Amino acid sequence: MSELTLSSVSSGYGRKTVVFDATLSAPAGQVTVLLGHNGAGKTTILKTIQGLIPVQSGRIAFQGQDISRSTPRANLQRGIAYMPSEQFVYDDLSVDDNLIAASLAVPKRQRRYSVAEVHALLPMLSDRGPQLAGTLSGGQKRMLSTGMLLMVNPKMMLLDEPSLGLAPAVVEQLFDFYRSLALESGLGILLVEQNVGEALRIGDEVFALRSGRTFLQESAENLRKRTEFWDLF
């Protein structure tokens, strides 16, 4: 059974529908990629899964349970963790205080990693514990936000354009880490990304969204054989 499934889900903002009858699945232990043009509704789908935007129709299920009406906090405690594309760390807190603050969102029994263990997994953070997060580089902030997600021991990570504004070498390092999390920890990842090459490099299954509707499902392996992707945007 897929870890996360959307069945004919529509959602939006107030009376404005942005996502129409979207259907996709993101299994455990895999990186599922969601592609689409700017304004296609990709971020709206992630926010709807997390419970930040209400479902207008359709069904979202996680581990076989209907979560279509669940709150963001309830979904987080189920193991769904969302990383937005912007404003993803607390600039006025230290690196370690960001990690500790993130861990407080779930009960102590649910936590898996200590701050020291996150340092070990993400060595870029290891000597920056006391440093204010606002003084970090873009890549360091993205590593920190990844560490914050690990502090809540997620089963499914929703990542919104994690490569945004990062140097290619940092993107490659970060995406390699995401791939290893999926393979080695059995973590499910739903990745929204404009960097098609990097997304397909680590992805397993790909869905494409156009004007709020899912119109394509294909393996990343097949899509890697393409020479152009204009029809997906």
Specify if 176 maps to a domain.
no
Residue 203 falls within a domain, yes or no? no
DSSP secondary structure code for residue 132 in this structure: B
Residues 95-105, mean pLDDT to the nearest whole number? 95
Residues in a beta bridge with 34: 192, 207
Residue 2 banded pLDDT, cuts 50, 70, 90: low
pLDDT in tens, 111-139: 888 999 999 999 889 889 999 999 999 88
How does DSSP assign 195-233, residue by residue? Answer: -HHHHHHH-SEEEEEETTEEEEEEEHHHHTT-S--GGG-
148 falls within a domain: yes
Paired tokens of 210: 């156009």
Q: How does strand 4-13 pair with strand 16-26?
A: antiparallel
Structural domain contains residue 123: yes
pLDDT in tens, 16-74: 999 999 999 999 999 999 999 989 999 999 999 999 999 999 999 999 999 999 999 99
Band (110; pLDDT cuts 50, 70, 90)? confident
In a domain, 117, yes or no: yes
Query: Does the residue 99 lie in any domain?
Result: yes
Question: How does pLDDT run across 160-219, given as a tens digit for each residue?
Answer: 999 988 889 999 999 999 999 999 999 999 999 989 999 999 999 999 999 999 999 999
Residue 94 lies in a domain: yes
46 Cβ contact partners less than 8 Å away, ≥ 6 residues apart: 82, 158, 160, 190, 192
Domain count, the chain: 1
Whether residue 83 is predicted with pLDDT greater than 90 in this model: the reply is: yes
Report if residue 108 sits inside a domain. Answer: yes
CA distance 11 to 19: 5
Q: Which domain holds residue 143?
A: 89-153
